[in-house]
Structure 1
Amino acid sequence: MSKLPTPAERLRSLLAAAGSLTLLVPGHRWDLVGAHRVEGGRILLDVPPQHIDTAAVLELTDVAPTPVRSRVRAKAVLGGWLAAHPGGGVALELAEAALQDPAYGRDAEVAVDPDEFAAAATDPLAHVEAELLCHLSDAHPDAVDRLARLVPPHHLHGVGRIVPVRLNRYGVVLRLEFAGRARDVRLPFLSPLDRPEEAGDRMQEPYARARCCHGGH
């Protein structure tokens, strides 16, 4: 079973969850807040229509909702041109996209094909990930401690704090913070979930495995 979304799925999920984007066209820059949505392979934007048929770039930064030291989880740059959308408004016709996410390799930049982006599915937890992570971190520190029992003991030597930093249909990721560095550890679900309502039951899987572990930190 894959433990990671494809880069195209990750990009679709980033766009779905993002509250803001930066749009760049020659001579103009917009910080768009709550002014975009994705339909198929097109990204619909609430911008003035006079820039149709103009080359454009979208920039997006994904920030962890929980209080970790290095909060930027991913960055994305999408290039294309602005076009009139058949249903009204302006759409970015995607020509190329690049994703930076440590999950795919430290400091690596991954190209995302526009056709793969158009066909990709948004993660079922994309819209609720921030809420669920903050609830787990703030209201259930005991649960985080139990999850940490699944981390190999040699990874926990010298750890100062453990914080849940990612959650998607494949599992939860814990950030291990040390004095001068950090390490992310993925705890996969037994199988990917399909609906947000399944998150509670799926989180019981790693809790159950943790109860069976004899290690600790």
Structure 2
Amino acid sequence: VGAIPLLSGMLESDQEPAGFWTAAMNNVWRDNVAVTGSDGWYFQLPGTPISHNMDIYKNTICPVGDRIGEWSRNRCHHLPGSCIRVYLKWFPRKEPCNAESDENPQILFNTTCWEVGKACYNAMKMGSVHNHHMTSVEAKSQDIFIVKFKKAAGVPHGGKWETDYLNIPHIKDSVFCAVLPQNLHKKSSRQSQSVLLPQNEQFLTADSMW
């Protein structure tokens, strides 16, 4: 990570293979399995298209503010990294290219993670994105790791931003298991936390089990 790959024309994410890599969130992801690469899904979402030959769309296509087409029943098994990695940010808005637009809540359904090396869901900076019906078993780090929320028209709280969850739980109907009962005799959990969310910010969790 740093100047050498960036000066050579590579993206930072080019240094780590992923099962699925995209710079455009507005795709349909349904019934896929990632079992290879560092991360299962690596979303590197630019403000405008990365390719210079798409400059004509720079005012109309804004991946960092776009919605997801569909996310349902995707799985990750025994990856060294995270299942879903959002780098660096995803702020879905009703008008993707308008930074002042209202949030456009997105729900990722039925993600399953089995013994991934890092988090089942990993995001550095995130808007109104919600994980429902997630199952994470024996993750080596956190099940969900989020550094910073951002609200579309929010106010700062301690240098961070709160998020307007619109009564949609960030985590709902999900199950997190650090160690399966049949494995207690041979290993213990290395998790420091199951879910790591920002402090001094608003989030909602409902109907889930640990």
TM range (shorter): under 0.3
- Which has the larger helix fraction? 1
TM-score by length of 2: 0.26
- Which has the larger strand fraction? 1
Which fold has the larger relative contact order, with Cα–Cα distance below 8 Å and residues 6 or more apart in sequence? 1
TM-score by length of 1: 0.26
